[in-house]
Amino acid sequence: MIKLIEKLYNTRSLSLDEYEYLISNRTEEYAEKLASLARQRANEVYGNKIFVRGLIEITNICKNDCLYCGIRRSNKACQRYRLTKEEILSCCEEGNRIGYKTFVLQGGEDGFFTDEVLCDIVKEIKKRYPEAAVTLSMGERSYESYKALKEAGADRYLLRHETADPEHYSMLHPEELTLENRMRCLDDLKSLGYQVGCGFMVGSPYQTYGHIAKDLKFIEEFSPDMCGIGPFISHRDTPFKDEKSGSLELTCYLLSIVRLIHPHILLPSTTALGTIHPDGRQMGILSGANVVMPNLSPEDAKSKYTLYDNKLHSGAESARELNKLKELMSSIGYKIVTERGDVIKE
Ligand code: SAH
């Protein structure tokens, strides 16, 4: 095991079998070893800086029916909303005042946000805050659409691959959604020059260690600029309502591995991690993460953007309470910075 950890640290690459072995045979002691190497790597590239992103959840209307997701179209209990351009801009204004220099626009796949509508919003944000980065997380779109949004000024795009195994993908999604198209989107985004983020849920239904090994191999080979990894958490109004949540411990272990595969990657300590454990956010950072994405959505939207049960949105999770987050991070030796926080390429 120690040999394997050293190999990962030195070569940044393992075989599928080795990744699976590393996950299956984990102990607390190995987890601490990986975490300490991961912190060292993050420190070599980014120092003790933690980047913040202001997350704006612009719509929970979605044409998709992903089995795990609380805003899936079949969920009739979900109260739907969509922010107007003015509301989105006023979130940015507030975020800008607090010091955020990245705005992440995330939402369901809502047909209202055509290229025309979304490009107009991106252009306006870039015009008002030229020093800020705009990240989009609006799901699967065409090459032409991603191109138009890039030309409008979008800098980054988050699109988790969710699972790198096609069969597992089909157990989490309805038939019309395929891993092949997700991968097409990720390739398009990369070729258009976006800083691109992929990622997956830990402990999603039917997930095996073999699947996770494939996720790690995919992340190694695709070499994304960012990677979102958080535990699966069930939502009461989805087909997966009785499935158990992913663990804090395995999520942190995987964050450390991803940091060792790609020392330069931007790795968020996710809201889902903070939701399953009161110290989740800090533990993610201590496992090698270097980004947090506090919520900048209007209060009413926050409570309706329920991807999973009990999703956090107050306290240090709220973008308006940056001071709380600063205290939390400084208590573990890290410093929240309000720079743009672009990826440092190798
Ligand atoms: N429509 C956009 C944004 C999706 S929400 C897109 O397709 O990219 C962002 C992420 O939340 C998803 O990629 C998924 O990995 C995660 N998510 C959704 N439901 C979840 C759940 N029940 N538990 C944990 N994470 C979930």
Q: Which of 61, 65, 69, 183 most suits a substitution to test ligand 1, by most atoms within 8 Å of the C-beta? A: 69
308 lines ligand 1 (CB under 6 A): yes
270 lines ligand 1 (CB under 6 A): no
The model's pLDDT over 284-329, given as tens digits with 9 standing for 90+, comes to 999 999 999 999 999 999 999 999 999 988 888 888 899 999 999 9
CA distance 182 to 115: 19
Of the candidates 194, 164, 156, 200, which has an alpha carbon nearest to the alpha carbon of residue 180? 164
CA distance 248 to 110: 31
Give the residue, by CA position, lying nearest to ligand 1 atom 24: 232
For range 152-163, the mean pLDDT: 98
Instruction: Locate the domains of the chain by residue range.
Output: 57-246+294-337
Quote the pTM value: 0.98
Hey, what CATH topology would domain 57-246+294-337 get?
A: TIM Barrel (3.20.20)
Q: What is the mean pLDDT of the chain?
A: 97
For range 155-163, the mean pLDDT: 98
For range 100-104, the mean pLDDT: 98
- Strand-pairing partners, residue 198, are 227
Atom of ligand 1 nearest to the CA of 272: 24
**pLDDT top residue among 183 and 313:** 183
Distance between Cα 69 and ligand 1 center (Å): 6
| β strands within 75-225, DSSP E | 102-107, 133-137, 156-158, 195-202
The model's pLDDT over 18-71, given as tens digits with 9 standing for 90+, comes to 999 999 999 999 999 999 999 999 999 999 999 999 999 999 999 999 999 999
94 lines ligand 1 (CB under 6 A): no
Q: What percent of the chain has pLDDT over 70?
A: 100
